[in-house]
């Protein structure tokens, strides 16, 4: 106690030096408490950003997987993580665990869809005009389609200038012939005689050749959309609506929908608007300048889509805005897209008010039924028709390129595309067999059936077909399949074998999109991985070990990983960011230690006379060391408490107003546009202990110097 009284007297007698060193201690404590609070909050927010968007706190997948689960992994779609054969059984086991709130089925795969083109749009408008008997609109649209065909023929002619069409592929020669047919006067003169046949020819033969036709590639998440939306609080519908409960459907991710599906010029203008709102200028930003140039030279993407009536309206509006008498849109549009910081807002609004209504803004529109193409687990091509209900976003990941490319599909369609034999798929196979008139035979009876003059079309039961793999992959749902066939039996076959099978398949797939499935039907079947949502307050590490033990006990052959491991690239990225921030905090703190140590050394050297006098009157070296240590502890307690209290006030202010995210990366780190840091008692205790240890460590060298001071040195200093 005497030592601390001496320490307080010494600190009071050297007020300036004490406040300098104490200020450093307070700053170090403040820095440490604020840093620990921010890092702790960042860790929680990063977890929330990912686990509350898609991964859950834990993920379960096959223990026999050849590759690691990476939800935000590579785009090649080739990750072999195995399958979970009966989700219904696994869900029952998982949700029986006291720590588990929900188990959400998931599966990731890649697909593609033909985005359609302006000919498709115009032909649909032409069909509606013909049905309504609107001859004026029909004539305008017909003229536009014919002009597009002419442009396609001109482009095809350019191919003939650089290559010998006689040696070209069969597809190229057929395309030239189809365009020649569609461009012939006789074709359009006969249009009124049989408009439906003419439009079918244009849809099937000419539309796929359109200049702006493109195949869209994307990754999609197969899941139960209703349960997914309830389980993940950062999931949000942006446009359209959610997929109705129990129905098939598709949701585009808003970011990728805008970037990949929207008209390129319109999308560039949107991005320019966002960047200008962020404080950038066209005069100084090279990206903005590049987008201006692209819009000016790619005006044909607009003129290609305008019919005569729309061309007239757009021309008149641009002439008025530009105060020009120019007639050709090919010259007006480049002038219009010569935007500057001063005129951008006006021209952006004019584009959407006047030009955009005449364009096909999206290759796939909300409400469309699109054909998704993919490959089964065995490598066979497959496809499914699915309705687009809307767009969505993950609130904290909506600007992440990896997360922004992940779309959503219902689980039933996902299983069909991945090649698993569901009740619907089995019913479709049986429907095809009945519609085509084939029957299954045993291998030993094949010769008699084939050459015995039976006359019926048969299928060799021993021969492997693409669907055999699907049957082997998922033997469930056979009873449900029989029920489906009974409830939705095939229509009577008509026409030839191929036509009957095609018509039956088309009718069946159209009917699938109207079907409403029960929860049992959705759960019964194959999934690839499962998101495990834990109850609030549960320790993740302990829960993961307990759940793994339960799965092993039930012999389900699954492994459990945490959200960071399962998220793949984003999890690794977040770990790097966290490590960099922690390292930066450590460097700053080390610098503070060095400065504090130097200050204490200087203070010790200035007290040489005092120390020598104490030695001269009998003070032992150990007492000198203890005195310095007592002073250090006193300063650490007093100024450390002051620094910790000040840090608590700062964190409380930040928690009230929030720290704004300044770019896309920090939005992901903050799990939203603002970070609301919190400080806990453990942060202050950790900071207090560390500061005390650092203070004592920093005092060792000055104390050692003080211990070496002799009375003789003190008297020499006095002289």
What tens digit of pLDDT does each residue of 449-471 get?
555 554 444 444 444 443 333 33
**Averaged pLDDT for residues 336-356:** 95
Q: Is 263 helix (H, G, I), strand (E, B) or coil?
A: coil
**Averaged pLDDT for residues 585-593:** 71
Q: Which two tokens stand for residue 91?
A: 């869900």
More confident residue, 328 or 496: 328
- Residues 89, 16, single domain; the answer is no
One-letter-per-residue 3-state SS of 593-606: HHHHHHHHHHHHHH
- In the numeric block, the tokens 């439906």 are attached to 196
| Whether the predicted model's global pTM rises above the 0.95 cut | no
Q: Is residue 178 part of a domain?
A: yes
Q: Is residue 153 part of a domain?
A: yes
pLDDT of 57 over the 90 cut? yes
Q: What is the pLDDT of residue 473?
A: 38
What tens digit of pLDDT does each residue of 512-561 get?
778 889 999 999 888 999 999 999 889 999 999 999 999 999 999 999 99
Contacts of 200 (CB under 8 A, 6+ apart): none
**Averaged pLDDT for residues 599-611:** 67
Which of 143, 1, 85, 47 minimizes the C-alpha distance to 529? 85
In angstroms and rounded to an integer, the radius of gyration of the C-alpha atoms of the chain is 37
User: Pairing mode, if any, of strands 458-460 and 439-441?
Assistant: parallel
Q: How far is the C-alpha of 428 from the C-alpha of 264, rounded, in Å? A: 39
Identify the domain boundary among 162, 184, 213: 213
Contact 27, 638 (CB under 8 A): no
User: Pairing mode, if any, of strands 100-114 and 558-562?
Assistant: unpaired
- Residues 599, 695, single domain; the answer is yes
- In the numeric block, the tokens 């849109």 are attached to 329
453 backbone φψ class: left, alpha, beta (φ>0; ψ -120 to 50): left
Question: What is the band of 267 on the pLDDT scale with cuts at 50, 70, 90?
Answer: very high
**Averaged pLDDT for residues 418-443:** 63
pLDDT of 494 over the 50 cut? no
Neighbours of 344 (CB within 10 A): 18
Q: What is the pLDDT of residue 242?
A: 96
Which of 222, 191, 194 minimizes the C-alpha distance to 109? 222
Q: What is the pLDDT of residue 501?
A: 46
What tens digit of pLDDT does each residue of 645-659 get?
888 898 888 888 888
Mean pLDDT score of the chain, rounded to an integer?
A: 78
**Averaged pLDDT for residues 116-136:** 81
More confident residue, 146 or 284: 284
Would you give the DSSP letter of residue 99? T
H or E segment at 30? helix 15-50
**Averaged pLDDT for residues 197-225:** 79
Q: How far is the C-alpha of 359 from the C-alpha of 368, rounded, in Å? A: 17
Buried b (16+ CB within 10 A) or exposed e, 89-120: ebbebbeebebbebbbbbbbbebebbbbbbbb
What tens digit of pLDDT does each residue of 164-183 get?
556 666 777 777 788 888 87
Q: In the chain, how many domains are there?
A: 3
- Residues 592, 557, single domain; the answer is no
**Averaged pLDDT for residues 62-83:** 76
Contacts of 226 (CB under 8 A, 6+ apart): 242, 243, 245, 246
Would you give the DSSP letter of residue 535? P
Q: How far is the C-alpha of 402 from the C-alpha of 392, rounded, in Å? A: 15
- Residues 149, 199, single domain; the answer is yes
Neighbours of 598 (CB within 10 A): 13
Mark out the alpha helices in 51-134 (DSSP H runs).
87-95, 118-132
Identify the domain boundary among 170, 190, 213: 213
H or E segment at 221? strand 215-223
Backbone angles phi, psi at 109, to 5 degrees: -160, 165
pLDDT of 262 over the 80 cut? yes
Identify the domain boundary among 157, 180, 213: 213
Q: What is the pLDDT of residue 71?
A: 85
- Residues 608, 697, single domain; the answer is yes
- Residues 107, 66, single domain; the answer is yes
More confident residue, 584 or 89: 89
Q: Is residue 579 part of a domain?
A: yes
Q: How far is the C-alpha of 239 from the C-alpha of 235, rounded, in Å? A: 13
Question: What is the band of 448 on the pLDDT scale with cuts at 50, 70, 90?
Answer: low
Contacts of 404 (CB under 8 A, 6+ apart): 253, 254, 255, 256, 259, 397, 398
Q: Which two tokens stand for residue 416?
A: 């069909």
**Averaged pLDDT for residues 374-388:** 83
Q: Is 709 helix (H, G, I), strand (E, B) or coil?
A: coil
Q: Which two tokens stand for residue 679?
A: 């400080």
Buried b (16+ CB within 10 A) or exposed e, 436-469: beeeebeeeebeeeeeeeeeeeeeeeeeeeebeb
User: Pairing mode, if any, of strands 58-62 and 458-460?
Assistant: unpaired
Q: Which two tokens stand for residue 500?
A: 């009957």
**Averaged pLDDT for residues 273-287:** 91
Question: What is the band of 14 on the pLDDT scale with cuts at 50, 70, 90?
Answer: low
pLDDT of 430 over the 70 cut? no
Buried b (16+ CB within 10 A) or exposed e, 302-318: bbbbbbebbbeebbebb
More confident residue, 186 or 707: 186
- Residues 598, 550, single domain; the answer is no
Q: How far is the C-alpha of 233 from the C-alpha of 239, rounded, in Å? A: 17
Q: What is the pLDDT of residue 483?
A: 40
Neighbours of 62 (CB within 10 A): 19
Which of 215, 210, 201, 203 minimizes the C-alpha distance to 117? 210
Q: Is residue 485 part of a domain?
A: no
**Averaged pLDDT for residues 139-156:** 79
- Residues 665, 625, single domain; the answer is yes
- In the numeric block, the tokens 């109850």 are attached to 535
Q: Is residue 374 part of a domain?
A: no
Contact 521, 469 (CB under 8 A): no
DSSP assignments along 629-668, one per residue: HHHHHHHHHHHHHHHHHHHHHHHHHHHHH-EEP-SHHHHH
**Averaged pLDDT for residues 64-69:** 87
Q: Is residue 590 part of a domain?
A: yes
Q: Is the dihedral of CA 557, 560, 565, 569 positive or negative?
A: positive
- Residues 615, 632, single domain; the answer is yes
What tens digit of pLDDT does each residue of 687-717 get?
778 777 777 776 776 667 666 666 666 555 5
Contact 429, 459 (CB under 8 A): no
Question: What is the band of 493 on the pLDDT scale with cuts at 50, 70, 90?
Answer: very low
Question: What is the band of 407 on the pLDDT scale with cuts at 50, 70, 90?
Answer: very high
Q: Is 406 helix (H, G, I), strand (E, B) or coil?
A: strand
In 279-380 the beta strands, taken as DSSP E runs, fall at: 369-375
Q: Is residue 411 part of a domain?
A: no
Q: What is the pLDDT of residue 360?
A: 87
Range with the poorest average pLDDT among 131-145, 213-227, 269-283, 574-588: 574-588
76: containing domain: 57-113+535-564
Q: How far is the C-alpha of 662 from the C-alpha of 278, rounded, in Å? A: 10
- Residues 577, 683, single domain; the answer is yes
Q: Is residue 625 part of a domain?
A: yes
Q: What is the pLDDT of residue 164?
A: 59
- Residues 580, 695, single domain; the answer is yes
Q: What is the pLDDT of residue 476?
A: 38
Length of the chain: 719
User: Pairing mode, if any, of strands 659-660 and 100-114?
Assistant: unpaired
Which of 114, 669, 109 minimizes the C-alpha distance to 407? 109
- Residues 708, 576, single domain; the answer is yes
Contact 220, 406 (CB under 8 A): yes
Q: What is the pLDDT of residue 311?
A: 92
């Amino acid at each position: 106690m005497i030592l601390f009284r001496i320490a307080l007297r010494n600190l009071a007698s050297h007020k300036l030096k004490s406040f300098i060193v104490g200020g450093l201690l307070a700053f170090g404590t403040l820095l440490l408490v604020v840093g620990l609070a921010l890092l702790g909050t960042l860790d929680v927010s990063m977890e929330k950003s990912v686990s509350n968007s898609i991964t859950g706190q834990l993920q379960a997948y096959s223990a026999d997987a050849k590759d690691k689960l990476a939800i935000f992994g590579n785009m090649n779609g080739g990750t072999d993580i195995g399958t979970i054969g009966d989700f219904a059984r696994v869900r029952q086991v998982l949700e029986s665990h006291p720590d588990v709130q929900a188990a959400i089925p998931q599966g990731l795969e890649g697909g593609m869809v033909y985005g359609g083109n302006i000919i498709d749009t115009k032909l649909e408008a032409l069909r509606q005009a013909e049905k309504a008997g609107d001859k004026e609109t029909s004539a305008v649209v017909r003229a536009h389609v014919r002009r597009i065909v002419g442009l396609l023929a001109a482009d095809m002619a350019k191919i003939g200038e650089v290559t010998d069409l006689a040696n070209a592929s069969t597809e190229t020669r057929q395309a030239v012939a189809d365009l020649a047919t569609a461009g012939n006067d006789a074709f359009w003169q006969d249009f009124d005689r049989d408009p439906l046949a003419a439009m079918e020819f244009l849809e099937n033969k000419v539309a796929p050749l359109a200049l702006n036709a493109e195949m869209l590639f994307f990754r999609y998440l197969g899941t139960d959309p209703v349960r997914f939306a309830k389980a993940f609080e950062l999931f949000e519908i942006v446009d359209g609506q959610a997929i109705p409960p129990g129905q098939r459907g598709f949701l585009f991710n808003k970011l990728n929908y805008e970037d990949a599906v929207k008209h390129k010029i319109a999308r560039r203008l949107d991005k320019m608007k966002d960047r200008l709102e962020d404080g950038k200028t066209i005069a100084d930003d090279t990206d903005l300048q590049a987008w201006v140039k692209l819009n000016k030279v790619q005006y044909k993407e607009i003129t290609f889509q305008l019919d005569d009536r729309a061309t007239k309206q757009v021309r008149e509006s641009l002439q008025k805005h530009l105060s020009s008498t120019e007639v050709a849109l090919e010259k007006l549009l480049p002038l219009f897209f010569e935007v500057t910081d001063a005129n951008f807002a006006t021209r952006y609004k004019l584009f959407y008010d006047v030009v955009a209504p005449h364009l096909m803004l999206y290759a796939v529109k909300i409400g469309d039924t699109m054909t998704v193409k993919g490959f089964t687990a065995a490598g066979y091509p497959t496809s499914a028709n699915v309705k687009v209900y809307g767009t969505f976003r993950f609130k904290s990941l909506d600007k992440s390129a990896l997360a922004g490319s992940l779309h959503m599909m219902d689980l039933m369609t996902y299983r069909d595309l991945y090649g698993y034999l569901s009740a619907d798929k089995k019913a479709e196979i049986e429907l095809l067999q009945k519609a085509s008139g084939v029957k299954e035979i045993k291998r030993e009876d094949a010769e008699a059936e084939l050459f015995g003059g039976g006359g019926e079309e048969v299928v060799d039961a021993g021969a492997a077909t693409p669907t055999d793999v699907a049957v082997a992959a998922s033997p469930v749902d056979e009873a449900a399949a029989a029920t489906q066939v009974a409830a939705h039996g095939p229509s009577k076959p008509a026409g030839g074998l191929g036509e009957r099978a095609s018509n039956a398949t088309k009718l069946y797939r159209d009917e699938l999109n109207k079907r409403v499935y029960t929860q049992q039907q959705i759960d019964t079947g194959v999934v690839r991985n499962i998101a495990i949502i834990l109850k609030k307050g549960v320790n993740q590490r302990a829960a993961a070990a307990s759940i793994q033990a339960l799965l092993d006990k039930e012999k389900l052959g699954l492994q459990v990983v945490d959200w960071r491991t399962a998220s793949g690239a984003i999890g690794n990225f977040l770990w790097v960011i966290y490590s960099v921030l922690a390292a930066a905090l450590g460097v700053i703190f080390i610098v503070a230690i060095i400065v504090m140590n130097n200050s204490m050394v200087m203070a010790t050297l200035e007290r040489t006379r005092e120390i020598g006098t104490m030695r001269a009157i009998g003070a032992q070296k150990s007492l000198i060391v203890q005195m310095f240590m007592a002073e250090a502890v006193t300063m650490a307690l007093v100024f450390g408490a002051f620094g910790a209290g000040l840090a608590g006030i700062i964190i409380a202010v930040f928690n009230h107003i929030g720290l704004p995210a300044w770019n896309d990366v920090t939005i992901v780190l903050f799990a939203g546009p603002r970070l609301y840091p919190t400080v806990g008692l453990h942060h202050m205790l950790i900071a207090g202990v560390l500061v005390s240890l650092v203070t004592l460590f920093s005092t060792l060298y000055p104390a050692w110097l003080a211990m070496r001071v002799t009375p003789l040195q003190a008297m020499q200093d006095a002289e």
